[in-house]
Amino acid sequence: MEIKNICCIGAGYVGGPTMSVIASQCPHLRITVVDSNPERIDAWNGPDLNKLPIYEPGLAEVVAEARGRNLFFSKDIDRAILEADMIFISVNTPTKTYGKGKGMAADLKFVESCARQIAAVATSDKIVVEKSTIPVRTASSIKNILTQADGGQSGGQSGGQAGGQAGGRTGRGINFHVLSNPEFLSEGTAVQDLLKPDRVLIGGDNEEAIQALTAIYAHWVPAERIITTNLWSAELSKLTANAFLAQRVSSINAISELCEATGADVDEVARAVGADSRIGPKFLKASVGFGGSCFQKDILNLVYIARSYQLHAVADYWEQVILLNRHQRRRFADKIVRTLYDTVSGKKIAFLGWAFKKDTNDSRESAAIYVADALLAEEAEITVYDPKVSPERIYADLDALGSRSPEENRRLLKIEKDPYDTMKGAYAIAVLTEWDEFKMYDWPRVYQNMQKPAFVFDGRRLLDAQKMESIGFDYYAIGGGSPQDL
């Protein structure tokens, strides 16, 4: 199977950067990225590369090189499907907000509609690649839709244990092969992660299809880093990888509370623990809680799947990772209220950061949203500064919680463009994202312009404790002690 034309459905945080990097590394491939949202496509095609729909360091350069050469962003989904030899599905798979599995299971309606559209439009053989994170065994549903939408035959026992054939021939004689190729990129470092992945994972049951996708990655990824497995292992590995990563954050965050109670310093503990080569130093930074579109969604999904197999001990175990994360956000907000003499009503509290981590404009599931919500419930007046997240996004995040009316959210929470205006007159500063620029501020100037005592609640352990205290701040870092770089 020689691949010349690739289509990717979903021009989001995963589809956009992934296809841009494939295009830059494989100039011989023609790659068309489509999206059901025409404005997103316009934004990808816009003349100003600083205004791409997502912000990722290094992405603008990659897009500049490949766009118009072999990378295209198009609104014509049918045509892109028709022309492609290989189709990546990279649409979102949010947690269900309705019906069975509400609040837990992944909502696969977008994945299903992609499969139906491919089935309806295709006139030649296709390799369909699951890029989106999906529940284990989704490939068999995709295969069924692809092959049976026009009355054809699916290739295998979708209910089987060992991984039935995820391919088949339709009534019109078209062959479909389904592969799972989960994406492990991390936002903020997406381009680097894609250029130098720890591993590329390809799950499938058709050797030719696996080889066709392997050959693409082999243009820049060393062969030993390309792992092939059966479909269900690949699907489950993605959920498991995210669950393990989130578990590490919840583990260190659980210890952070104990550090505060005992006088230990969580960075010192993390350094000592992480020096054990079996544990390793990464992903041990205590924080106000993990966010992002994946961790919570994927663990909830894992819990849901485990429960659906009656594996309640497994489900309970992983659910704790989420519960601890919620607790961490909550206790940070509680700490602010308690420290401000048990009332924040009418007090200005400055938020530094809204994104779920630095170097991204993404705020999905950001801890900042939940800390803000808890403080607004106490009638605090919040002012937010984030270098990349748009005001519309910030208000949309809060409105989505439904805790109060949109008018009320806009009355109580203001968004500033200038960090010094954000902090002027504030009773407290809360650091919610670890943006580097926060470390560079003229902190004596900030102190001068604040109410006294001037409290700083560092939910990222970002600032220099000694320096802040010497200026006069009442400085608190989540996890106690003095923050240090890990």
Give the per-residue contact string, 337-366, with ligand UDX (x = CB under 6 A; - = no). -------------------xx---------
Peptide bond into 453 cis (omega under 30): yes
Q: Which of residues 287-306 bind ligand UDX (CB under 6 A)?
A: 287, 290-295
Distances (CA, A) of 477 to 157, 324, 328, 343, 480: 54, 18, 13, 20, 6
Cβ-based nearer residue to ligand UDX, 283 or 395 = 283
Give the per-residue contact string, 53-92, with ligand UDX (x = CB under 6 A; - = no). -------------------------------------xxx
Q: Is 260 a catalytic residue?
A: no
d(Cα 372, Cα 400) in Å, to the nearest integer? 13
- Name the catalytic one among 8, 26, 126, 183: 183
Other C-beta atoms closer than 10 Å to the C-beta of 173 total 10
Question: Which among 36-44, 194-202, 226-234, 306-314 is the span making contact with ligand UDX, rule CB under 6 A?
Answer: 36-44
Q: Is 452 a catalytic residue?
A: no
State yes or no: residue 12 binds ligand UDX (CB under 6 A).
yes
Q: Contact 174/126 with Cβ under 8 angstroms?
A: yes
Question: Which among 183-191, 316-324, 336-344, 390-398 is the span making contact with ligand UDX, rule CB under 6 A?
Answer: 183-191
CB of 150 to ligand UDX, least distance (A): 20
Other C-beta atoms closer than 10 Å to the C-beta of 145 total 21
Positions of E strands within 224-360: 226-229, 348-352
The first and second tokens of residue 159, run together, are 């209910």
State yes or no: residue 113 binds ligand UDX (CB under 6 A).
yes
Q: Contact 5/28 with Cβ under 8 angstroms?
A: no
CB of 453 to ligand UDX, least distance (A): 28
CB of 37 to ligand UDX, least distance (A): 4
DSSP for residue 224: G
Cβ-based nearer residue to ligand UDX, 187 or 265 = 187
Cβ-based nearer residue to ligand UDX, 283 or 420 = 283
Query: In terms of DSSP bridges, do strands 413-415 and 381-385 run parallel, antiparallel, or are they unpaired?
Result: parallel
Q: What DSSP string runs through 406-458?
A: HHHHHHHEEE-SSHHHHHTT-SEEEE-S--GGGGGS-HHHHHHTS-SS-EEEE
- Name the catalytic one among 96, 131, 143, 238: 238
Among 7, 8, 11, 430, binds ligand UDX (CB under 6 A): 11
Distances (CA, A) of 265 to 174, 326, 457, 464: 61, 22, 16, 14
The first and second tokens of residue 260, run together, are 């505060």
Among 85, 183, 205, 267, binds ligand UDX (CB under 6 A): 183
The first and second tokens of residue 224, run together, are 């030993």
Q: Is 7 a catalytic residue?
A: no
Cβ-based nearer residue to ligand UDX, 96 or 424 = 96
Size of the site for ligand UDX (CB under 6 A): 40
Query: In terms of DSSP bridges, do strands 167-169 and 153-154 run parallel, antiparallel, or are they unpaired?
Result: antiparallel
The first and second tokens of residue 26, run together, are 């494989």
State yes or no: residue 192 binds ligand UDX (CB under 6 A).
no
The DSSP bridge partners found for residue 128 are 87, 178
Cβ-based nearer residue to ligand UDX, 285 or 424 = 285
d(Cα 133, Cα 153) in Å, to the nearest integer? 26
CA-based Rg of the chain, rounded to a whole angstrom? 24
Positions of E strands within 244-401: 348-352, 381-385
Give the per-residue contact string, 89-108, with ligand UDX (x = CB under 6 A; - = no). -xxxx---------------
CB of 357 to ligand UDX, least distance (A): 4
State yes or no: residue 181 binds ligand UDX (CB under 6 A).
no
State yes or no: residue 481 binds ligand UDX (CB under 6 A).
no
- Name the catalytic one among 8, 26, 114, 294: 294
What phi and psi, each to the nearest 5 degrees, are found at residue 426? Answer: -75, 150
Among 4, 37, 157, 448, binds ligand UDX (CB under 6 A): 37
DSSP for residue 51: G
Cβ-based nearer residue to ligand UDX, 26 or 243 = 243
As annotated, the active-site residues are 183, 238, 294
Binding residues for ligand UDX, rule: CB under 6 A, are 9-15, 35-37, 40, 90-93, 110, 113-114, 132-133, 183-187, 242, 245, 249, 283-285, 287, 290-295, 356-357
